Structure 1
Amino acid sequence: MTNNVFLLENLPNEIIIELFKYLKARDLFQAFYNLNSRFNYLIQPLTHLTYSTNKNDNCTLSYPYIYTLIINTKIENKLKCFPNLHRIILDYVTDDLISQLNNHILPNLEYLSISHTVSPFYMPDLRAIIFSNTFPNLKYCYISRMTPPYTSREWTQSLSLRFLKVNDIDSSIYISILLACPNLYFLKFKLPIKSKIQSNIVLHTSLKRLIINMHYDEWPWDDSILEDYLLCVPNLEQFRICRSISIDLNAMDYFQYYDWLSKIISRHLLVLDRFTFDLRVKRPSGLIESISKSTDSILKTFIY
């Protein structure tokens, strides 16, 4: 080990830092921390250091320098042990954990992913934290489950949030998000039902990229519900919509005259640079050959 350390010390800082990226935080600190001042200096500012609660990474020496924390088991009053956290991935959430999510314990939080599978009875509290500027440096957020806020005044604003991904939402949550995140640049969400915007249109001029997943929407499609969604975001530069359909020959006849949202886009998205329409087709086995020929013809017509 001593000889290996000596050989490592002969390398320039850039190469040593690159080599450190291949080591887990526990192994890195156990092997190199406090060997000398140079290694300490190179280790402390590393931004790849990750701690996972189910990996039994109990090297407490690394805690003050952990950049990313992955929580997938119960964690007891421990967030304060990680003062340098910038990224948190929550695969397991409890009320006790939510009580620790505050700016005093996590002043540097920039990335928050909540992908837990536990019943989200505590989610209103979490959403209020996220969308009320509790973390003034938060730039990216993913939320696996959303339900409407209790009142339209429940959220204030999260001014730093720029990238947001959520799963199933409805029109009321969409409007609440636009109001709460005035500087949002990227938004991705699932719209599983025909949920028309009932309230007044909210104008959000900062949003540039939008992805709407409608893989579960009903047939025949009602594109009119999308009009108000797009009316809210006139400065979109990239728009992607994902849809799926269990198709038959009657549906293929419909596609012969479908405009692929061109009229709605031309009315409301005047600066759009890129539009992607992802279509997933589920075809009955007996119709594969005839539908395939018709689909090829339609797609050739649509490409422009």
Structure 2
Amino acid sequence: MESYNAFMKTLTININEITIFKYLNTSDIFQSFFNLNLRFNTLLSSLNNLHHTIPEDNQCENIDRFCRYIYSLTILGKVVVNLNRFKHIHCLILHDPVDTLLQQLDIDNLPYLEYLSIPDVLFRMSSMYQKLFSNRFPNLKFCNLFECETIETILPWTQTLSLCFLKIGFIDFYVYTAILSACPNLYYLKLHIFQSYLKLSDIQPHRNLRKLEIYSEIIDWYYNDQLIDNFLRCLPNLEELIIYRLISKIVDPIPDYDWLASIISIRLSLLRYFIFSLHLEYDLAFIDFITTEMRRQLRKLFLNAHKNRYQSRFIIN
């Protein structure tokens, strides 16, 4: 009984100490408790989900004592960091990284990488695409490159089997099919549609993609529908579709528009959820012109077009 009580007391102390760690950043935890005694060192070494952020104004921080314990790392701005020191990173977020940091993104430095987000790099990403779509990160499951540059040149890609969730920037139909071919296990894809006149006749179906988000700033709705039709024609098992589209001052064609209902009926027999988000251009006069009654009418037209064949939602903002 005494040994049990002693065990429970030790367990309670350990839990309380770990709870305290949740309120401190990683640097403060190791600065305060590392090498304090053997028990604290044991506790610190047992932590397996630590996050650390390196801000742009703190490049000289001493991270040697805890870098091997970091699970998730965020680097802000023009910071020069040796990623090889963070061997156990599973999650990496880079905001406006320098070239030397991008060049380090490889399996040798990041053997356990599962989550990668580079949300705001407009250029210098060509080599990253080659690594991403050629299985240079065999454990990578989630990748966010949504605000990155347009992919214009495709080098020979092999397949990356682990990638399931991808957010990519502006792509045309040719790059889109190349990505689907390189990522056969892709489950979720978010993209920014790029105007293209290219059509491919031989398209292999991608049977694992279940959720697709398409952002489009193309004002010509009927031409845009042709592009979306091309993007949907190879997704026979898609279950959720989200479309973000702009609307200009010209609203006359909208009453005759079928809100992609005919395309969906042909291409997506398994669709369960459809969200159509309509974004008004930033013109105050036009925004004022879209009255409450007009919004109600647009929503009614949308719902009538889809007729409860699946769950549908119309958003206008």
State the TM-score bracket (shorter-chain normalisation): 0.7 to 0.9
Distance 1:186 1:202, change over 3 A: same
Q: Distance in 2 between matches of 1:51 and 1:162?
A: 26
Return the letter of the residue paired with 1:131: F
1:91: Cα distance to partner? Answer: 1.9
Structure 1 stretches of 5 or more lacking a match? 1-7
CA contact (8 A) 1:201 1:228 kept: no
1:127: Cα distance to partner? Answer: 0.9
Partner residue of 1:236? Answer: 238
Return the letter of the residue paired with 2:86: F
Matched, 1:183 2:185: yes
Matched, 1:211 2:213: yes
SS at match of 2:130: helix
After TM superposition, list the pairs within 5 Å mapping 1:40-51 onto structure 2: 40-44=41-45, 45-51=47-53
Return the letter of the residue paired with 2:186: L
SS at match of 2:66: helix
Match of 2:90 among 83, 86, 93: 86
Distance 1:279 1:194, change over 3 A: farther
1:85: Cα distance to partner? Answer: 0.9
Distance 1:162 1:10, change over 3 A: closer
Partner residue of 1:25? Answer: 26
Q: Distance in 2 between matches of 1:209 and 1:290?
A: 30
Partner residue of 2:253? Answer: 254
Q: Distance in 2 between matches of 1:238 and 1:260?
A: 15
Distance 1:14 1:301, change over 3 A: farther
Q: Distance in 2 between matches of 1:191 and 1:245?
A: 16
Structure 2 stretches of 5 or more lacking a match? 1-8, 309-317
Distance 1:145 1:202, change over 3 A: farther
Partner residue of 1:106? Answer: 110
Q: Distance in 1 between matches of 2:34 and 2:162?
A: 35
Residue deviations 1:33-92 (CA, integer Å, cap 9, x gap): 222343333333331321315252423211111112223344546111111111111223
Q: Distance in 1 between matches of 2:153 and 2:209?
A: 25
1:150: Cα distance to partner? Answer: 3.5
Q: Distance in 1 between matches of 2:204 and 2:211?
A: 17
CA contact (8 A) 2:255 2:301 kept: no
Return the letter of the residue paired with 1:263: S
Q: Distance in 1 between matches of 2:288 and 2:49?
A: 51
Distance 1:195 1:24, change over 3 A: farther
Q: Distance in 2 between matches of 1:297 and 1:73?
A: 46
Identical positions, percent: 37
1:297: Cα distance to partner? Answer: 1.9
Residue deviations 1:137-190 (CA, integer Å, cap 9, x gap): 001111132444634x52111110011001211112211110111101110011
After TM superposition, list the pairs within 5 Å mapping 1:88-237 onto structure 2: 88-117=92-121, 120=123, 122-143=124-145, 144-148=147-151, 150-151=153-154, 154-198=156-200, 200-214=202-216, 216-222=217-223, 223-237=225-239
Partner residue of 2:72? Answer: 68
Between the two proteins, the alignment pairs up a number of residues equal to 290
Q: Distance in 1 between matches of 2:286 and 2:133?
A: 50
Distance 1:18 1:176, change over 3 A: farther
Q: Which deviates more, 274-283 or 51-60?
A: 51-60
Q: Distance in 2 between matches of 1:234 and 1:241?
A: 17
Q: Distance in 2 between matches of 1:52 and 1:115?
A: 16
Distance 1:287 1:28, change over 3 A: closer
RMSD over aligned Cα atoms: 2.6
